[in-house]
A = this chain, B = another copy of it.
Amino acid sequence: MANVRVAGTGVTPFGASPERTGRDLFAEASIEAFEDSDVPRDDVEAVFYGNFMGELAEHQGHQGPLMAEAAGVQAPATRFESACASSGAAVREAVTRIRTGENDVLLVGGAERMTNLGTAGATEALAIAADDLWEVRAGMTFPGAYALMAQAYFDAFGGDREDLAAIAVKNHENALPNENAQYQRAIEVGDVLEAPPVSEPLGLYDACPISDGASALVLTSEDYAEEHDLETPVAITGTGQGGDRMALHDREHLARSPAAREAGAEAYADAGIDASDVDIAEVHDCFTIAEVLALEALDLEPIGEGISAARDGRTTADGELPVNLSGGLKAKGHPVGATGASQIAEITMLLAGTHPNSDYVADATTGVAHNAGGTVASALVHVLEVVA
């Protein structure tokens, strides 16, 4: 099957813009993506859009047509919702449609408005990604869930809060030159260790922030890109999806993410690569421990060794496998519905040499994006490669 070209990317600044509507944010991202792509809006055949909590944050469902309108596109639109993996799910269907020849040009992306809910309101809204009957009513929130996963990891494989702190420090460092990042501010291990506890063993600096923002991608077929002489140096060459039970108590091991392993294996096989071919990765570090579990699930670190990757410099910007060069969810921010497509945008820019951190990875040809929903009951993985 033909590969899918990333013709244009657009990402708004992530951060606190409580006065801006989701459609306002998505309009900005899509304008940037169209300008970047040289693709006329009239060529767009459909809009695939990810959003998680619009019903609660904006009293707005049915956002597909609304976002097509915001983007100035007259085409059918579909909203995907897979919690924090919502736009990853949208990307997957778009990639499938283009590769099978159903479509040539699609607008894909996502948006989320969160900070208008306040921290407590957003935390409660995020909880609808967990099992309401068995987890949420028992008082579980996502910081609590990821704290359980971190403690289970420590118990099974060792590691400590300083290992996790190194991940936060690394991702803040990576975000320094990223103008769209919510935090362009260096932190030190001591800051992380001394931050207020959120849910033991995780503190405030182990968690990603609550963010508003949007992302958009113009994806085209190879044929369309070539016929229109588009500059499309990066292609999406692999897609994978995995699923798991929703409730954490149903998992075999709290410190494993089989859905992400399944999605990664499928994406690698689809692209015809091995984990060892990956040069850069954007992984879903909603909490520091999540980056560890992602690296292990994607076979980028052996089981039990992901915990030391940042601290030992393997995943820092100048390490062998730079992870979250964008700043990750931790420092770039995490407007839920926008995250998956924004990861694809970041990898595209890194591989194309147009990212402020591209110099670290001048020889990189292969990147992987990992987008997770809930406690990884949903996982979407995509492989991107420089077009030969």
Contacts and interface: CB of A to CB of B under 8 A. Distances in A.
Nearest to A242: B76
A292 interface: no
Contacts of A204: none
Interface in A165-197: none
Given A59-B128, A78-B82, A80-B78, A65 B244 contact: yes
A76 B131 contact: no
A55 interface: yes
Interface string A136-173: 10000000000000000000000000000000000000
Contacts of A62: 81-83, 128-130, 246, 373-374, 377-378
A18 interface: no
Interface string A56-95: 1011111011101100001111111111000001000100
Interface in A351-388: 373-374, 377-378
Nearest to A128: B61
A318 interface: no
Contacts of A21: 133
A59 B61 CA distance: 14
A89 B132 CA distance: 25
A286 interface: no
Interface string A98-127: 001110000000000000000000000001
A87 to B, nearest CB: 12
Contact of A55 (B128, B131, B259): B128
Contacts of A131: 60, 66
B128 A65 contact: no
A46 interface: yes
A349 interface: no
Contact of A100 (B65, B102, B129, B136): B102
A68 B46 CA distance: 27
* 7 tightest Cβ-Cβ pairs between the two chains A and B: A100-B100, A62-B83, A76-B243, A61-B128, A65-B377, A55-B55, A76-B241
Given A68-B243, A79-B82, 5 more contacts: A21-B133, A58-B132, A61-B129, A66-B246, A77-B378
Interface of A: 21, 46-47, 52-53, 55-56, 58-62, 64-66, 68-69, 74-83, 89, 93, 96-97, 100-102, 127-133, 136, 241-246, 250, 259, 262-263, 373-374, 377-378
